[in-house]
């Protein structure tokens, strides 16, 4: 969850580090620090809170060097404080490291190191790594890191700097992401390419169990066992502009507005003249024809998109689908089934629970494909095939454009499976595709008309509880609407299947409880209206999200938000936009830190 960075080159090292840390603040932001080696030896600056606090310190006491390392923290071991902030140094004060991940055996390592005379000052697991490196150190930092690595258990990526070799950085990856950026006579290493997008166009993604060195002489990569690796470089497809707000007040709002483009791009990546193609997913048509069950695994918003996928696939391709949150799936006794296909959905491709789920599936020998937004992410290296959402970089901690892109992919996959199994002919699929092509235009319409949604946000921003209800395809949207609201506004919100409301949540309903009902037209419309009446009968305030051509909706609801009319399938992708906007404007009126909600990190790389 933390963001780590290293730089070797001729620019002002601390400025590159601070720039990179700001770009990666979405990964964690309770404290930060940088280190570089200048004439006076190793210098470290740390600060609690936002990176701006560290920048302020840097402007008072600048530190520079040829190489430097930096870190933004999302606390796991030890409270957010300057002492616990990275970089951590050894007893001699010559070696510093930054770390992302969790060193699981830090307790035993720490006791051994204390017995050997090492002095610890923080509560972090990271500090053991730097003392372990010191313990191995014999004048060569590369050898010391190589010697320390096999003793560390858990997930980690580290970058290490020594004042004895001030132009060199040694780094390693085990289960936490790390990527090297190749600039002109300069080198970067970071948790995410976003950290150096402005400076480098080529990247090398490290594999688990690899260690690297960057220095003015270049890049070298080795396996932990010592064997040199012939690395592959990839072009970076994202550009620096994607990491700017471009006039929007928050990244989240910018990303909500990017949805028409993200849907067009994602569609362009999977559509052919007369159907869909998932060439990167390497979907074997013979296998698809035999698939008897699909299992979807994901977390958070990606889970909600996966749940929508379950409805799409079951209704369109007639294949039974089960779905789990990854953190439950990995410890559940899942019963093997022949001819089953697993699909993991993950925006970042780095979520620890989802990665563990992939490993579990692989150990059982089942086929697995991933739906992800990040090229080269950890999950893409573990699965049999990948379907990329082409939503562009998502900076806001609250996922928005990736949810609609994932939902679109799941819908397209359902149509593809239906055709492959002979349930729908090419001709029958054509009208679905034609409607999908209209989605960006319909999204634009919603985004042009936010006045009403802002008004609703102002009416209800001070409520303490919200309920979100939907049936069938709209049930995952109810979950997503509630998740968005609680994430960024800190209002308690629950998403429920509308028919389940009478089994418990109905007890919460009173005149202070807004109930958002996604009531777009479907075969269950009448049942949804009955649920609305049950809410109204208990003085609940119904906020309806309905289709434009629904002339009855107004009579059932206190407040109404309309979206362009579409089929139930396409409506399920459209109707989340007003929910995202409602959460956004409520959080904005409440003055919340929308792009960096408290306690949250964009990619959750710990279990
Ligand atoms: C979304 O708004 C959340 N921040 C969170 O639930 C997220 O969707 C979840 O952590 C999964 O992340 P992933 O898609 O990168 O795997």
Give per-residue pLDDT as tens, 232-272: 999 888 877 777 888 999 999 999 999 999 999 999 999 98
- Pick from 604, 605, 607 the residue to mutate for probing ligand 1's pocket: most ligand atoms within 8 Å of its CB: 604
User: Residue 40 contacts by C-beta under 8 Å, 6 or more apart in sequence?
Assistant: none
Residues 500 and 522: their CA atoms lie apart, in Å, by 18
- Pick from 74, 177, 194, 300 the residue to mutate for probing ligand 1's pocket: most ligand atoms within 8 Å of its CB: 300
CA dihedral 73, 77, 82, 85 (to 10 degrees): -40
The token pair at 85 is 């902030």
Centroid of ligand 1 to alpha carbon of 300 (angstroms): 5
Tell me if residue 2 is catalytic.
yes
Centroid of ligand 1 to alpha carbon of 350 (angstroms): 10
- Pick from 29, 176, 194, 299 the residue to mutate for probing ligand 1's pocket: most ligand atoms within 8 Å of its CB: 299
Q: Cis omega before residue 87 (within 30°)?
A: yes
Q: Are strands 169-174 and 210-215 parallel, antiparallel or unpaired?
A: antiparallel
Centroid of ligand 1 to alpha carbon of 347 (angstroms): 7
Count of C-beta atoms within a 10 Å radius of residue 442: 22
Instruction: List the residue whose alpha carbon is closest to atom 10 of ligand 1.
Output: 300
Centroid of ligand 1 to alpha carbon of 78 (angstroms): 24
Question: 318-357, pLDDT tens digit by residue?
Answer: 999 999 999 999 999 877 677 889 999 999 999 999 999 9
Closest ligand 1 atom number to CA of residue 604: 10
570, 435 contact by CB (below 8 A): yes
Active-site choice (110, 146, 175, 602): 602
Size (the chain), residues = 607
- Pick from 255, 329, 351 the residue to mutate for probing ligand 1's pocket: most ligand atoms within 8 Å of its CB: 351
Question: Which residue ranges in the chain fall short of pLDDT 70?
Answer: 1, 336, 606
Q: Which pLDDT does position 477 carry in this prediction?
A: 98
Residues 528 and 283: their CA atoms lie apart, in Å, by 38
Residue ranges lining ligand 1, Cβ < 6 Å: 299-302, 346-348, 351, 354, 397-399, 487, 600, 603-604
Closest ligand 1 atom number to CA of residue 354: 16
Centroid of ligand 1 to alpha carbon of 77 (angstroms): 22
Stretch (H or E) spanning 460: helix 451-460
Active-site choice (2, 299, 513, 592): 2
- Tell which residue, 302, 248, 345, 260, has the closest CA to residue 574: 260
Closest ligand 1 atom number to CA of residue 372: 14
Centroid of ligand 1 to alpha carbon of 348 (angstroms): 8
Strand partners, 204: 180
Q: Which pLDDT does position 336 carry in this prediction?
A: 66
Centroid of ligand 1 to alpha carbon of 108 (angstroms): 33
417: left (phi over 0), alpha (psi -120 to 50) or beta: alpha
Closest ligand 1 atom number to CA of residue 600: 4
By three-state DSSP, how is residue 148 classified? helix
pTM given for the model: 0.83
Tell me if residue 602 is catalytic.
yes
Q: Which pLDDT does position 475 carry in this prediction?
A: 98
Residue 218 CA, distance from chain mean position: 31
DSSP 228: B
499, 531 contact by CB (below 8 A): yes
């Amino acid at each position: 969850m933390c963001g780590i960075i290293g730089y070797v080159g001729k620019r002002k090292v601390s400025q590159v580090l601070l720039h990179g840390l700001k770009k990666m603040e979405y990964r964690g932001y309770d404290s930060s620090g940088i280190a570089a080696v200048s004439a006076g030896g190793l210098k470290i600056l740390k600060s609690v809170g936002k990176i701006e606090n560290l920048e302020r310190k840097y402007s008072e006491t600048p530190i520079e060097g040829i190489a430097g390392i930096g870190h933004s923290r999302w606390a796991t071991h030890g409270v957010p404080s300057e002492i616990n902030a990275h970089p951590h140094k050894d007893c001699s004060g010559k070696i510093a490291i930054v770390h992302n991940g969790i060193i699981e055996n830090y307790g035993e390592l720490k006791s051994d190191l204390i017995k050997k005379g090492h002095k610890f000052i923080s509560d972090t697991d990271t500090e053991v790594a730097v003392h372990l490196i010191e313990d191995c150190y014999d004048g060569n930092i590369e050898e010391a890191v190589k010697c320390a690595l096999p003793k560390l258990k858990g997930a980690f990526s580290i970058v290490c700097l020594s004042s004895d070799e001030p132009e060199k950085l040694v780094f390693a990856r085990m289960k936490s992401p790390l990527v090297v950026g190749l600039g002109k006579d300069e080198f970067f290493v970071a948790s995410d390419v976003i950290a150096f997008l402005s400076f480098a166009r080529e990247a090398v993604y490290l594999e688990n169990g690899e260690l690297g060195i960057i220095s003015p002489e270049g890049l070298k990569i080795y396996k932990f066992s010592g064997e040199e690796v012939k690395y592959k470089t990839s072009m970076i497809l994202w550009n620096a502009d994607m990491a700017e707000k471009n006039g929007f007040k928050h990244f989240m709002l910018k990303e909500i507005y990017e949805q028409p483009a993200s849907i067009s791009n994602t569609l362009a990546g999977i559509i052919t003249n007369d159907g869909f193609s998932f060439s990167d997913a390497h979907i074997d048509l013979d296998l698809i024809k035999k698939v008897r069950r699909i299992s979807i695994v994901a977390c958070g918003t990606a889970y909600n998109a996966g749940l929508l996928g379950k409805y799409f696939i079951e209704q369109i391709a007639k294949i039974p689908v089960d779905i789990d949150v990854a953190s439950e799936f990995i410890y559940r006794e899942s019963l093997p089934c022949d001819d089953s296909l697993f699909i993991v959905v993950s925006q970042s491709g780095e979520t620890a629970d989802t990665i563990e789920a992939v490993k579990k599936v692989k150990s059982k020998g089942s086929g697995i494909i991933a739906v992800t937004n990040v090229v080269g992410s950890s999950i893409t290296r573990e699965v049999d095939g990948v379907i990329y959402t082409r939503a562009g970089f998502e900076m806001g901690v609250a996922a928005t454009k990736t949810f609609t892109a994932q939902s679109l992919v799941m819908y397209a996959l359902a149509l593809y499976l239906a055709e492959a199994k002979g349930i729908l002919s090419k001709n029958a699929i054509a009208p679905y595709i034609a409607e999908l092509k209209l989605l960006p235009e319909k999204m634009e319409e919603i985004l042009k008309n936010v006045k009403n949604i802002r008004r609703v946000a102002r009416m209800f921003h001070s409520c303490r509880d919200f309920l979100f209800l939907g049936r069938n395809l709209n049930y995952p949207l109810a979950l997503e609407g509630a998740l968005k609201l609680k994430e960024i506004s800190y209002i308690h919100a629950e998403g429920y299947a509308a028919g389940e409301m009478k089994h418990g949540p109905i007890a919460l309903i009173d005149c202070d409880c807004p109930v958002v009902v996604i009531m777009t037209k479907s075969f269950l419309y009448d049942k949804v209206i009955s649920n609305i009446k049950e809410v109204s009968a208990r003085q609940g305030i119904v906020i309806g999200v309905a289709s434009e051509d629904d002339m009855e909706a107004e009579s059932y609801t206190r407040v109404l938000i309309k979206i362009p009319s579409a089929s139930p399938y396409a409506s399920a992708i459209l109707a989340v936009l007003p929910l995202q906007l409602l959460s956004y404007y409520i959080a904005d009126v409440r003055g919340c830190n929308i792009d960096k909600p408290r306690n949250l990190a964009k990619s959750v790389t710990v279990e």
